[in-house]
Amino acid sequence: MRSRWVIRAFVLALGILQACAHYPTNTPLESYHPEGGYRFDGLRPGPGNTDTIFLCLAFSGGGTRAAALAYGVLQELRDTTITAHGTSRGLLQEVDCISSVSGGSFTAAYFALFRDRIFQEFEPRFLRRDIQGQLLGQVLNPANWFRLMSPYFNRIDLAAELYDATVFNGARYLDLVGGLRPFIALNATNVELGSRVEFTQDQFDFLGSDLKEYPLARAVAASSAFPILLSPLSLKNHPSPPGYEVPASVSNALNDAATNPRRYSWAKQLMTYQDKVLHPYLHLLDGGLADNIGLRAVADAYTRGFIRRRINNGAIGTLAVIVVNARTDPPESIDMRESPPHLPTVAMKTAMVSMENFSFETVEFMRGLAGDRVQAQRDVAACQRLLDTRCPGLPRLATFPAEINLHVVEVNFERLKDPREREFFLSLPTSFALSDRQIDCLIAAGRRLLRASSDYQALLTELGGRLREDAERAVEFPSGGCRASQ
Amino acid sequence: MEYLVVRFPRSRRVKIDGEFNGRTGELIELEAGTYTISLGAPPNFTPARQQVVLKDTSALNPKEVVFDEV
């Protein structure tokens, strides 16, 4: 009888202790170093990276579907060689940056952390695992019930623990600092502001926080915290360290409300985090809410960030952006019913619609930026030719430090020619548990769609690219095919 | 995008908002907005920095900013 009471008391005490559970807090920044921490300029190009060929990838959201499609694209880049500076090298080694949201963040983070090991490990460790079932198992495990009763520990923290233990081996951003490219920007969405938050030191400077000690698994969890199904992930907005100054680019941009509302909005959102009284914390959901194809970070780097500086410093000869968009378009029946949809359907549609709305616009915006640059180069060259012919004595026009060739490549299921294959992929669910056949289909589709892209073929022509012979059949779909049933 | 040319008697790296971003005499491409322009070392130029607003420029008609040697 007495021992039973002892056990009950022990369980109760354990429960009370567990109910004090708290999510791991991001560490404060002790001193400000504008060039330290996880930033693009702190990474080295690596032995196989020419530096003048600048390749960025954008991985969209879409659960395991997006992760597998992005993984297929990485395989295709691995099996493609180019000729640059007189030597042959793998195109994958030219990848300089990856921006990602949601499911795509698993692939991006795994590749940045483990590099070529991704091709041996990623399928069994992530793509072919029932992550969703394991997450549910964590939530249903009585050992976690008391922890989940704490207001400071939520389902997303359980997810982050699972990813940390089973996918990312406890890796911190410290494991990436000072290493080789690619630089990764894992993107989440600030629930209050609705704005993009990226896990880079440039962003964390505004939070007075040091990203080095932060687990990659938590960044990936924030990036893939699908609304309603998962809870937001929380960060503390620490006081700025001594000596911190808001970058001049941000303070100048605050004058641009009329001149450039886009730049002004970017600066204003960052400056929100300087208000430590009204915003002592921030809560993050899936990055897809702000940008479901992960391209905004690349567009920002092009207009005002590390890509812009490299272009103006004449360091880039070829700039290619490959957008891997796992967007689907499953058949709907909402319009078939007289009665309005129920709350769960409305909630899910609300989350999904906002995720899809800006994807098309962002790709077109990036294409427009590339087109503007090409046109400006042509205008200057044509005008100089005219001046040389008609007015040979005049001073020469100012020219760009380097002519650059730009390529924007988009991989998406709409580009599949076979209608039944297209329907198969456009109907795949957003889930963290897909069948082996679905995974096989997605990997092959990533390779096939990239290879078939005319924009990608133009890039390969420019770079003297060719496919490894033994990889030619890798685009074939598995036996049984990847087609919707009639 | 907007276009800027920074003039100085010698070739010198250009600092825009405190970061190296192009060289004197070359076209510098930036988004529209307000910028603080300066030059790299040695500090033998005047003024020390200039604030400009880039708007309605083109690659053929860029905004020109001039620094004198001292």
State how far the alpha carbon of A188 is from the alpha carbons of A218, A226, A288, in Å. Answer: 11, 10, 7
Say how far apart CA A304 and CA B30 lie, in whole Å: 7
The residue count for chain A:
486
Peptide bond before residue A34 is cis, with ω within 30 degrees of 0: no
Q: Give the side-chain half-sphere CA count within 13 A for A156.
A: 26
Q: Which two tokens stand for residue A27?
A: 């560490």
Which residues from chain A sit within 8 angstroms of residue B40, using beta carbons? none
Q: Mind listing the pLDDT tens digit for each residue in A249-280?
A: 999 999 999 999 999 999 999 999 999 999 99
Lowest mean pLDDT among A391-405, A471-485, B50-64: A471-485
Using a CB–CB cutoff of 8 Å, tell me whether B17 touches chain A.
yes
Q: Is the pLDDT of residue A7 over 80?
A: no
8 Å CB contact of B60 and A259: no
Using a CB–CB cutoff of 8 Å, tell me whether B58 touches chain A.
yes
Whether A322 contacts A412, CB under 8 Å: no
8 Å CB contact of A398 and B58: no
Which residues from chain B sit within 8 angstroms of residue A260, using beta carbons? 31-33, 55
Q: Mind listing the pLDDT tens digit for each residue in A198-252?
A: 999 999 999 999 999 999 999 999 999 998 889 999 999 999 999 999 999 999 9
Minimum-distance CB partner of A252 among B3, B34, B55: B34
Minimum-distance CB partner of B36 among A248, A308, A311: A248
**Backbone phi, psi, residue A141, to 5°:** -70, 120
Which site among B19, B52, B65 would you substitute to test the A interface, given the most A Cβ atoms closer than 10 Å to its Cβ? B19
pTM to 2 decimal places:
0.94
pLDDT at B11: 94
**Mind giving me the DSSP string for A219-263?**
HHHHHT--TTTSPPEEEE-PPPPTT----HHHHHHTT-TTT-HHH
pLDDT at A476: 87
Q: Is the pLDDT of residue A349 over 80?
A: no
Whether A103 contacts A187, CB under 8 Å: no
Average pLDDT over residues A88-113: 96
Q: Is the pLDDT of residue A470 over 90?
A: no
Minimum-distance CB partner of B31 among A304, A380, A400: A304
State the nearest Cα–Cα gap between A305 and chain B, in angstroms.
10
pLDDT-above-70 percentage for chain A: 94
Q: Mind listing the pLDDT tens digit for each residue in A392-451?
A: 889 999 999 999 999 999 999 999 999 999 999 999 999 999 999 999 999 999 999 999
Which site among B27, B38, B49 would you substitute to test the A interface, given the most A Cβ atoms closer than 10 Å to its Cβ? B27
Confidence of residue A174 (pLDDT cuts 50, 70, 90): very high
pLDDT at A2: 65
Say how far apart CA A234 and CA A201 lie, in whole Å: 17
Residue of A nearest to B23 (CA): A313
Strand intervals (E) in A127-200: 183-190, 196-198
> Which helix (H) or strand (E) covers residue A166, if one does?
helix A155-166
Say how far apart CA A462 and CA A448 lie, in whole Å: 20
Q: Is the dihedral of CA A436, A156, A352, A201 positive or negative?
A: negative
DSSP β-ladder status, A281-286 and A183-190: antiparallel
Which site among A264, A310, A312 would you substitute to test the B interface, given the most B Cβ atoms closer than 10 Å to its Cβ? A312
Using a CB–CB cutoff of 8 Å, tell me whether B31 touches chain A.
yes
8 Å CB contact of B59 and A247: no
Q: For residue B29, what are the β-bridge partners?
A: B3
Which residues from chain B sit within 8 angstroms of residue A400, using beta carbons? 26-27, 29, 59
State the nearest Cα–Cα gap between A163 and chain B, in angstroms.
37
Q: Is the pLDDT of residue B47 over 90?
A: yes
Q: What is the average pLDDT score of chain A?
A: 92
pLDDT at A99: 98
Using a CB–CB cutoff of 8 Å, tell me whether B53 touches chain A.
yes
8 Å CB contact of A252 and B35: yes
